[in-house]
Structure 1
Amino acid sequence: MATDRRAEMSAEKKDAFLGAHETGVLSLARGDEPYAIPVSYGYDGTGRHFYLRLVSTPESEKRQFLASEPNVRFVVVDDETDTYRSVVATGTLTRMDPDELAVEEIQQYGEARRPLFEVWPEDREDLDIGLYRLSPTSITGREVTIARDDGT
């Protein structure tokens, strides 16, 4: 039988973890209705902000949820080894005006990877490409190390 050891991650471990990854799941809530999507992101460990480039079509659920200024939860996980790690950030998204971005913020959007290919059912000019910043009200992290009965 396997046993596990759980630990809360320190602020330094959370920052290192978030800086080393580039994708997570963004969950938006509007009333009792949830919406979740995988996205890429950039992370500023100094200011503890997430930077997201979100693309939506005119009638998409994503655009409707973003227009409602929803509460958000952003989850990043890593389960590639015997230690499972996850970080959850909660807060609100702020749409950023590209003309008002500082050089450091522009660099963070560069960390938000674009997909290798894009397929959209709408014409490109109908797409809304929005730059958003998530300034979390909380960031929690946990790591669980699995110890197997065979000692590995």
Structure 2
Amino acid sequence: MSREIGTELDDYETEEFLRNRGLGVLGFARDGQAYTIPIAFAYDDSDGRCVFRFLMGENSRKREFVAATDVASLTTYEWRKRDDWKSVVVRGPLRRVPDDDLAEAAALFSDVGEETALEVFNKPISEYETVWYELDVRELTARGQFPGVK
């Protein structure tokens, strides 16, 4: 007997949460190995995609896993307390943003806000290769628990 946790978010709640969240964990898989990274993202509800700006060094593990992953998974969540949380898991193919869509992707990403574009690198960002990717939303799970709702 399985008991579902929380309640399903409706489409409006889900899209609003993805548009406003901006930070998550992106998961890749290669040869039975998983690899996850914390990442800033922008959600484009008009095209059903999440946009990412990858900064990659010469020996980037991220580059290897992106190339080998057929279906990526993005998880974003907000936890306030046991009965007050939301989470969204998005799954789908991950691919480079086409050259003719780079300006739109960068503009969409800039709307996420400066506070989510964390600089956690050992060198200046200018020393890394910037590559834009998008996750095509094919599967989406959105749940939450709200105070007073069982």
TM-score, normalised to structure 1, is: 0.80
Aligned partners of 2:110, 2:125: CA distance in 1, in Å? Answer: 24
Q: Which has the larger radius of gyration?
A: 1
2:137 aligned partner = 136
Following TM superposition, by how much is the alpha carbon of 1:133 offset from its aligned partner in structure 2, in angstroms? 0.8
Residues 87-125 of structure 1: per-residue CA shift (max 9 Å, x gap)? 00001111014x41175433212235422x353369954
Residues 6-43 of structure 1: per-residue CA shift (max 9 Å, x gap)? 21111111001111111000000112100000000111
Following TM superposition, by how much is the alpha carbon of 1:131 offset from its aligned partner in structure 2, in angstroms? 0.2
Contact 2:97 2:105 survives alignment (8 Å): no
Unmatched runs of 5 consecutive residues or more in structure 2: none
Aligned partners of 2:131, 2:103: CA distance in 1, in Å? Answer: 17
Contact 1:22 1:111 survives alignment (8 Å): no
Aligned partners of 2:30, 2:16: CA distance in 1, in Å? Answer: 31
Aligned partners of 2:147, 2:30: CA distance in 1, in Å? Answer: 36
1:47 equivalent to 2:47? Answer yes
Contact 2:102 2:132 survives alignment (8 Å): no
1:91 aligned partner = 92
Contact 2:29 2:69 survives alignment (8 Å): no
1:119 equivalent to 2:129? Answer no
Identity %: 24
2:105 aligned partner = 105
1:6 equivalent to 2:6? Answer yes
Instruction: Say which SS state the counterpart of residue 55 (structure 1) adopts.
Output: strand
**For the structure 1 residues 102 and 62, does the alpha-carbon distance in structure 2 shift closer, same or farther, using more than 3 Å as the test?**
closer
**Which segments of structure 1 move beyond 6 Å, counting only runs of 4 or more?**
none
Higher strand share: 1
